[in-house]
Amino acid sequence: MQRIGVFVCWCGSNIAATVDVAAVSDTLKNEPGVVFSTNYQYMCSESGQNILKDAIRDYQLTGVVICSCSPRMHEATFRKAAAAAGLNPYMVEIANIREQCSWIHKDKAAGTEKAIILGRAAIAKVHLNAPLTAGESPVTKRALVIGGGIAGIQTALDIAEAGFEVDIVEKQPTIGGKMTQLDKTFPTLDCAACILTPKMVDCAQNENISIYAYSEVEEVKGFVGNFHVKIRKKARYVDTTKCTGCGLCTEKCPVKKVSNEFNLGLDNRRAVYIPFAQAVPKVATIDADHCNMLKSGKCGLCAKVCTAGAIDYKQKDEIIDREYGAIVVATGYQPIALDKYDEFAYSQSKDVVTSLEFERLTNAAGPTGGTLLRPSDGTHPHTLVFVQCVGSRCEDDGRGKSYCSKICCMYTAKHAMLVREKYPDTEVYVFYIDVRTPGKNFDEFYRRAVEEYGVHYIKGMVGKVAPRADGKLMVQACDLLANEQLHIEADMVILAAAIEPDPSARHLATMLTASMDTNDFFTEAHPKLRPVESPTAGIFLSGVCQGPKDIPETVSQASAAAAKAIGLLAKNKLTCNPCVAHSDEWMCNGCSACEKVCPYGAITYMDKEFRMPDRTTAIRRVASVNPAVCQGCGACTVACPSGAMDLDGFSNSQIMAEVDAICKMK
């Protein structure tokens, strides 16, 4: 029989106003096994904890029930206090009589009755508690950053700064991500390349950082502190150790008409290419889909002109095995496809462009050298119409996204402002539903576009864009404030397309067993208090993979994710949660039901030899739980048809004892 102490907390008036705490402690005193029962104003205070510690010693308590707030709030506090008094911390149970009782009841009699019942349930559970000891696992002191955009770069730099090794895996031939394609950045209008490329170079030069560009994560195994990752380094057909990035091959390659993805298809590149001048690593890549030599064996011009002898047509994909303690996801975003938005004529006219394409059209390193020209005929546009919220804030209609993409209001204000500044002869219209500019100096920036640059902001949406035979775009829109329909003859229409997570994110989330929301954004462990951690231990989130955000926010989050990863890598050993599942091998029938429901990949099956009662041996397939990976969610215990799976600290018998105590008649 356990010797149980009951401690009822008033929580000031939070509990005491709706629950008669003295009645609760008096009633629970008569429960079997209870040798001590008291109530106190603030159990979590130092003097409250001392009452607990003294009682444990004086009454030789083997179990403790605290009737107080949610275990999320103070379970750790009371476990620590009990441990200090020599009691196993897992012999402490919390009866939540605040969130689940006093806060939701008005009637004191009913509240008191419920508090007593909740206390009884906790006492019934403590009777079956057994001391648990937390295990330890080692930590590999290296981090993996998946995605080499500004988010991944910042996270990697911060982790490297703390003295840990970091690997960046980037699927494109260069790191830098979307930010390399931008012209200027709001709200200060500094040039994106000027602030980003030095960071890219820092990554390349930092001895703690290894860049795996043109590579993808192929497989993730293991658990927090001990991830085993396979990285596929895709064949570039160029020896990166020899290539000097001189670019001679990219000038001589005879295949000239390959759509240039860096300029979003607005111009062409060769089959062997360097995405842009400041690429890191600055080495050439041969596009196997278009290279004549790789397709038909007839050409070899690049190999002839390469003075470094770096071209290697026989190169194969390489698989690299690495171990990591922490993984940071920074997979970023892409603009949504606009082919379903027929009303905006995106597929019909070259002069209807997305905002990201517009960035390239105004970028000094873009296809027009920074002069804004109509893509269709290369003339100077006079009337430009910007349309906001294209695909954002849509009901689930199969075309758009339900969320606000967050960055469009600001970059559209930037585009409109820059066009008016550079080309004062233009008329610029921005059609908006709401202008959302919360952020430091953001609203001032938008007001400058209106007040100083004379951009016409019109409340209302564009209904349709009709290309006319003479090349003009007929824009039909509504001015809701003037209550009139507008017909504008435009030269260019720029669509602020919604952003969505990179399509590779879903597959990656499956490999990492990291959870995602319905929009394929990674979910954070807590939306307010743990915003950069995935619920899966050891996985951290950086940048737009977690939700739409602009560059300043992305960089803040990237540094936050780095801080969390550093906190993990700085530990030599990890204390595991001892409340993990275990399988009774004699009851397990090897059905795999638990393995299928386990969200953390903690359960594996193995064939094991058993000595049977008749002294023969038999090989049986049984489940085995890796306690370092198990998060104690209990899904397997529910799924197991034979009752072989049980959760330490929350065993089936403990839960049933609680239910019985609640259902028992007074």
Partner 1 sequence: MSKEFDREQILRTSGVNPRKCMRCGKCSATCPSYDEMEYHPHQFVYMVEKGQLDELMASKSIYKCLSCFACVERCPRGVEPARLVEAVRLQVVRQQGNNHLKANDIPALLDDDLPQQAIVTALRKYSK
What is the binding site for partner 1 (CB under 8 A)? 343, 389, 393-395, 397, 400, 433, 459-464, 476-478, 480, 483, 485
Least gap, CB of 258 to partner 1 (angstroms): 36
What sign does the dihedral 366-371-377-382 (CA atoms) show?
positive
Cβ 389 to partner 1 shortest distance, Å:
7
Task: Evaluate whether 276 touches 262 at the Cβ level (below 8 Å).
Answer: yes
C-beta of 307 vs 483, nearer to partner 1? 483
CA angle 27, 31, 34 (to 5 degrees): 105
Q: Which is nearer to partner 1, 284 or 490 (CB)?
A: 490
What kind and span of H or E run contains 54? Answer: helix 46-58
Closest to 660 measured CA to CA, from 285, 69, 290, 123: 123
Q: How far is the CB of 433 from partner 1 (least distance, A)?
A: 4
Measured from the CB of residue 397, what is the shortest distance to partner 1 in angstroms?
A: 6
Query: In the complex with partner 1, which residue's Cβ is closer, 308 or 394?
Result: 394
The least CB distance from residue 385 to partner 1, in Å, is: 12
Smallest distance, partner 1 to C-beta of residue 463, A: 3
Question: Is residue 568 within 8 Å of 164, Cβ to Cβ?
Answer: no
DSSP state of 523: P
Q: Is 287 helix (H, G, I), strand (E, B) or coil?
A: coil
At its nearest, how many Å lie between partner 1 and the CB of residue 460? 4
Query: Shortest Cβ distance from residue 368 to partner 1 (Å)?
Result: 31
Measured from the CB atom, the residue of 10 and 344 that comes closer to partner 1 is 344
> Which of 343, 452 has the CB closer to partner 1?
343
> Which helix (H) or strand (E) covers residue 327, if one does?
strand 326-329
Q: How far is the CB of 391 from partner 1 (least distance, A)?
A: 8
**Shortest distance in whole angstroms from residue 228 CB to partner 1:** 45
Closest approach, Cβ 340 to partner 1, in A, equals: 11
Specify the residue, 308 or 337, whose C-beta has the smaller distance to partner 1.
337
**Distance in Å, CB of 435 to partner 1, minimum:** 13
- Provide the phi-psi class of 655: left if phi over 0, else alpha when psi is between -120 and 50, else beta: alpha
CA-to-CA distance for 158 and 144, rounded, in angstroms?
A: 13
Asked if residue 198 has a cis previous peptide bond (ω within 30° of 0), the answer is no
Please identify, using beta-carbon distances, which residue of 9 and 384 lies nearer to partner 1: 384
Q: Rounded distance, CA 242 to CA 366, Å?
A: 28
Residue number with CB closer to partner 1 (390 or 560): 390
For residue 411, the surrounding DSSP H or E stretch is helix 408-422
Give residues with Cβ within 8 angstroms of 350, minimum separation 6.
374, 375, 376
Q: Which long-range contacts (CB under 8 A, 24 or more apart) does 482-489 make?
A: 486/458, 486/460, 488/383, 488/385, 488/429, 489/383
Is the separation of the CB atoms in 372 and 361 below 8 Å? yes
Torsion of CA 167, 168, 169, 175, to 10 degrees: -150
Paired tokens of 469? 């035979």
User: Which residue is associated with the tokens 């955009």?
Assistant: 149
- CB of residue 583 to partner 1, shortest distance in Å: 48
Taking the least distance from each CB to partner 1, the nearer of 240 and 476 is 476
Residues 6+ apart with CB under 8 A from 452: none
Looking at beta carbons only, is 456 or 459 nearer to partner 1? 459
Smaller CB separation from partner 1, 296 or 483: 483
> What Cα–Cα distance (Å) separates residue 133 from each residue in 4, 80, 109?
20, 14, 40
Instruction: In angstroms, give the least distance from the CB of 248 to partner 1.
Output: 50
Query: What is the closest distance, in whole angstroms, from the C-beta atom of residue 3 to partner 1 in the complex?
Result: 59
Q: How far is CA 535 from CA 57, 217, 530, in A?
A: 38, 20, 9
The tokens describing 426, both together, are 């233009």
Q: Please say whether the beta carbons of 609 and 618 come within 8 A.
A: yes
Give the containing element (helix H, strand E) for 68: strand 63-68
Give the β-pairing of 383-390 and 427-432: parallel
For the range 439-442, what are the long-range contacts, defined as Cβ-Cβ under 8 Å and sequence gap of 24 or more?
439/187, 439/410, 439/550, 439/552, 440/187, 440/552, 441/187, 441/188, 442/186, 442/187, 442/410
Cα-to-chain-centroid distance, residue 549: 12
- Nearest distance from residue 394's CB to partner 1, in Å? 4
Output 394 or 563, the one with its CB closest to partner 1: 394
Q: Which is nearer to partner 1, 486 or 591 (CB)?
A: 486
Contacts of 337 (CB under 8 A, 6+ apart): none
* Structure token digits, residue 215: 């590579």
Q: How many residues are recorded in the chain?
A: 666
Nearer to partner 1, 206 or 476 (CB): 476
Are 427 and 456 spatial neighbours (Cβ–Cβ below 8 Å)? yes
Shortest separation between residue 188's beta carbon and partner 1, angstroms: 30
Return the number of the residue (70 or 476) whose C-beta is nearest partner 1: 476
How close are the terminal C-alpha atoms of the chain, in Å?
A: 22
Cβ closest to partner 1, residue 289 vs residue 395 = 395
- For partner 1, the closer CB: 318 or 397: 397
